[in-house]
Amino acid sequence: MSTTCDSLQDTEDPSPAVPRPPDGGYGWVCVAACFAINCFTWGVVASYGVFLGYYLENGIYLTATPTDFAFIGGLNFSVAMLASPAVTSQNLAVTVLVRRNPFGIHLPMLIGVGLQTAGFIIVSFATLGLGVGFTYIPSIAVLSQWFRRRRSLANGISAAGSGIGGLMFSFLVRAAISNVSLAWSLRITGLVSGFMNILATVAIRSRNHIIQPKQHPFDMDLFCRYDVMLVLAWAFVSMLGYITLLFSMSNFASSIGLGESQSANVTAFLNLGIALGRPFIGIISDYFGRIQTAGFITLLCALSVFVIWIPAISYGITIFFVIVNGAILGVFWVTIGPICTEVVGLGELPSMLSLAWLVIVLPTTCKFGPVLYLKGDSHVIALILRPGLGNEFLYPQIFAGLAYLIASIISLELWRVRRRSTVVEYASSQGAPEGETSVALTARQNP
Structural domain boundaries enclosing 379: 27-439
Among 66-80, 151-165, 270-284, which stretch is predicted with the lowest mean pLDDT?
66-80
Residue 429 domain-assigned (yes or no)? yes
Considering only CA atoms, which of 42, 30, 122 is closest in space to residue 81? 42
Q: Count Cβ atoms below 10 Å from residue 97 Cβ, excluding itself.
A: 9
Identity of the residue numbered 33? A
pLDDT of residue 14: 46
- pLDDT at position 122 is 86
Res. 126: pLDDT tops 90: no
Structural domain count, the chain? 1
Instruction: Give the C-alpha distances (Å, rounded to integers) separating 225 from 2, 13, 78, 291.
Output: 11, 19, 26, 17
Whether 54 is covered by a domain: the verdict is yes
Compute the distance between CA of residue 159 and CA of residue 180 in angstroms, rounded to an integer.
31
User: pTM here?
Assistant: 0.80
Residue 56 pLDDT > 80: no
Check residue 10 and give its pLDDT: 43
SS3 of the chain: CCCCCCCCCCCCCCCCCCCCCCCCCCHHHHHHHHHHHHHHHHHHHHCHHHHHHHHHHHCCCCCCCHHHHHHHHHHHHHHHHHCHHHHHHHHHHHHHHHCCCCCCCHHHHHHHHHHHHHHHHCCCCCCHHHHHHHHHHHHHCHHHHHCCCCHHHHHHHHHHHHHHHHHHHHHHHHHHHHHCCHHHHHHHHHHHHHHHHHHHHHHCCCCHHHHCCCCCCCCHHHHHCHHHHHHHHHHHHHHHHHHHHHCCHHHHHHHCCCCHHHHHHHHHHHHHHHHHHHHHHHHHHHHHCHHHHHHHHHHHHHHHHHHHHCCCCCHHHHHHHHHHHHHHCCHHHHHHHHHHHHHHCHHHHHHHHHHHHHHCHHHHHCCCHHHHHHHCCCCCHHHCCCCCCCCCCHHHHHHHHHHHHHHHHHHHHHHHHHHHHHHHHHHHHCCCCHHHHHHCCCCCCCC
42 or 94: whose pLDDT is higher? 42
Nearest partner of 44 among 132, 137, 122, 115, judged by Cα: 132
Domain membership of residue 18 (yes or no) is no
Q: How many CB atoms lie within 10 A of CB 435?
A: 7
Q: How many CB atoms lie within 10 A of CB 127?
A: 20
The answer to whether 441 and 422 have CB atoms below 8 angstroms apart is: yes
Task: Tell me, yes or no, whether 146 lies in a domain.
Answer: yes
Give the C-alpha distances (Å, rounded to integers) separating 279 from 163, 262, 311, 331, 434.
11, 27, 29, 10, 41
For residue 395, how many other CB atoms are within 10 A of its CB?
17
Q: Return the number of other C-beta atoms located less than 10 Å from residue 347's C-beta.
A: 20
d(CA 221, CA 396): 36
- Cβ(280)–Cβ(327) under 8 Å? yes
Task: Give me the pLDDT at residue 427, please.
Answer: 52
CA pair distance 106, 203, nearest whole angstrom: 10
Q: What is the CATH number of the domain that holds 362?
A: 1.20.1250.20
The pLDDT score that the predictor gives to residue 41 is: 93
pLDDT digits (tens, 9 = 90+) for 60-69: 777 777 667 7
Instruction: Evaluate whether residue 444 is within a structural domain.
Output: no
More confident residue, 254 or 407: 407
Segment 379-392 shows an average pLDDT of: 49
Q: Is 16 inside a domain boundary?
A: no
pLDDT at 447: 40
Q: Is residue 281 a contact partner of residue 152, using CB atoms and an 8 Å limit?
A: yes
* Interval 347-367: pLDDT, tens: 888 888 888 988 988 887 765
Residue-level pLDDT at 245: 84
Phi, psi (rounded to 5 degrees) for 281: -60, -40
Residue 363 located in a structural domain = yes
- Asked if the model's pLDDT at residue 436 lies above 60, the reply is no
CA pair distance 93, 100, nearest whole angstrom: 10
pLDDT class for 430, splitting at 50, 70, 90?
A: low
- Assigned domain for 13 exists: no
Model confidence pLDDT, tens digit, residues 159-193: 999 989 988 988 888 888 888 888 888 899 999 99
